[in-house]
Amino acid sequence: MKKQFLLFIGLVVMVVAFNACTSKIDQEKLPSYFDNLEQGIQTGGVKMISINTPKGKFNVWTKQIGNNPTTKILLLNGGPGCTHEYFECFESFLPKEGIEFIYYDQLACGNSNNPKDTSLFSLPRYVEEVEQLRVALQLDKNNFYLLGHSWGGILAMQYALKYQANLKGLIISNMMASCPKYGKYADDVLAKQMDANVLDTIRAIEKKGDFKNPTYMQLLLTNYYTKHICRLPEYPEPVNRSFNKMNNDLYTIMQGPSEFGISGKLTNWDVSDELKNIHVPTLVIGATYDTMDPKYMEWMSKQIPGAQFLLCANGSHMCMYDDQQTYMNGLIKFLKNSN
């Protein structure tokens, strides 16, 4: 019995020693995710990037989380006019996987400069803004992933069609490649799910152009937003913080007065026929209860060579919150498999 006990203890010691050695080797192989790469005064990864525009130079705000030389995701928020804050849920998932990501407030949003010049509110100019950020942040085809959510998905697709040689991968989250089809889905499918009297009241207010009428937003909030924007009983604090900072001028000019369809500058934007020209690894994320048609988003994934589709079956437009595990697991799997 004593001999067996000594053999058992010896085996345990060997296993512990082996695991310690293996762990040390794995640690050496892993990127130094929390290495501090900043020079001089430390800012917690925050950089103000100077960009050139037709109206002069302005600064946009970015913040880097982690360090991974092969996987750096630039996050493009929605709206247009929202801020980076609603992406803060990524901090609960990506760092432990060693995935670097970069927050970014687009010009006229959040912590970035706001020139208050509506001539700068255009998709082509925002594409050039992203490209200037890429250069400043030293992102390239060996590490640069672009994740665009909602309006950010439009921006990401348009960027990829012009600058995909600089990309390692693309994530299109909760956005269709056609605003006319987005508007049609709202009219033909989502509107018909509403109570007829509620819909009549909404349409009457829209016809008058009385979008500041508190009844209008209240009806949308209770009959549309809670079903198709975020299906949680209460919006998470980062979502509220981002929405409360919305640049409403930018939002209205580009999107229109609400998420219930589209009526701004982007009304006729459509790159459906150009999706076949995107050749970088791509993930399209849709959700069953989204403001965007999930079947169309699945179709999108079949138009982009080699693309994948992730359906968040219980989610809506903010499915990184209301179907969080599906969203994050799918995103992480894509990033790891495309490396």
Q: How far apart are CA 257 and CA 251, in angstroms?
A: 7
Instruction: State the chain's maximal CA–CA distance in angstroms.
Output: 91
Catalytic residue among 150, 178, 242, 258: 150
Using alpha carbons, select from 303, 285, 329 the residue that is nearest to residue 150: 285
Q: Which two tokens stand for residue 120?
A: 């700068």
Q: Which of 317, 322, 323, 338 is catalytic?
A: 317
Check 84, 149, 178, 290 and give the catalytic one.
Answer: 290
92 assigned to active site: no
270 is catalytic: no
Closest CA to 177 of 338, 335, 329, 307: 307
Residue 335 exposure: Cα atoms within 13 Å on the Cβ side: 25
Asked whether 166 and 140 are in contact (CB, 8 A), the reply is yes
Tokens of 119: 């001539």
Whether residue 294 is preceded by a cis peptide bond, meaning omega within 30 degrees of 0, is no
User: Which residues form the catalytic set?
Assistant: 150, 290, 317
